[in-house]
Amino acid sequence: MEVVQIFDTNIFRLDGKIALVTGGAHGIGQAMASALARAGATIVFNEINQENMEKGLRAYEAEGITAKGYVCDVTDEKAVANMVAQIRKDVGIIDILVNNAGIIKRIPMLDMTADDFRQVVDINLNGPFIMAKAVIPGMIEKGHGKIINICSMMSELGRETVSGYAASKGGLKMLTRNICSEFGHANIQCNGIGPGYIATPQTAPLREPQADGSPHPFDSFIVAKTPANRWGTPGDLQGPVVFLASQASDFVNGHILYVDGGILAYIGKQP
């Protein structure tokens, strides 16, 4: 007779783990890092420049979280290798990598230059590839690891003006599955989170009421397309990232967890 294991909620704890969150100084990156910290992880993060990194340190300090910040461009392979080596000296081998750093350029395809397209793909897809390459050897050495790629609904859907972003996030979905395929045997789980439309300072202009007090057209569009009938919040991503970073997800690999309020399941209301 098969013995059923007793469920232990401690499998969600991250005590003793070191988590690197790229672009972790603000927005959803900071929200996810904060959740990992409250689950017990030691947080390290990078930003593209000193100013953003220092802002991040102050934000974590205000939350009572001790974090270490590094200035590093995720598309620079040598700089990433040096950062990962420095993190190892400062705090230890990375257990959890959250590939959060990314950009979007909303430009109609016929107006978008190849250089713009390359930049989006370089940061959103090549960056996670470079980061994963840098941390996987240490994870193999430790005998375990968690890589969480921040994908998007645009990993599945297209939309006007985001050809570079959608192409990069679709590629990131497949990179996630390939890392799973290549390193699952080493007890490394690589999964993705696909956020829906999240209410952040960056999206605030899309949610501001019009001069006559009516909702912004894009706000109305998103709420109508979302069965949850609202925008997501950074807090909505905290539970999923802790789950995918923890022992609770040890048999979950190559999966994209869409945190979108149901948009991808919904065809929309009949006119």
- E strand residue ranges, the chain: 18-22, 42-47, 67-71, 96-99, 145-150, 188-195, 256-259
Output the CA angle 182-192-89, nearest 5 degrees.
70
d(CA 161, CA 263): 19
Three-state SS at 244: helix
Q: Do you know the residue count of the chain?
A: 271
Dihedral angle sign, alpha carbons of residues 44, 46, 49, 52: negative
| Nearest by Cα to 37 from 96, 88, 86 | 96
Half-sphere exposure of 179 toward its Cβ, with a 13 Å CA cutoff?
35
**Which one of 60, 165, 197, 258 is the catalytic residue?**
165
Half-sphere exposure of 39 toward its Cβ, with a 13 Å CA cutoff?
27
**In the structure encoding, which two tokens stand for residue 113, read together?**
């230059």
Are the C-beta atoms of 188 and 140 separated by less than 8 Å?
yes
Q: Is residue 165 flagged as an active site residue? A: yes
Catalytic residues: 165
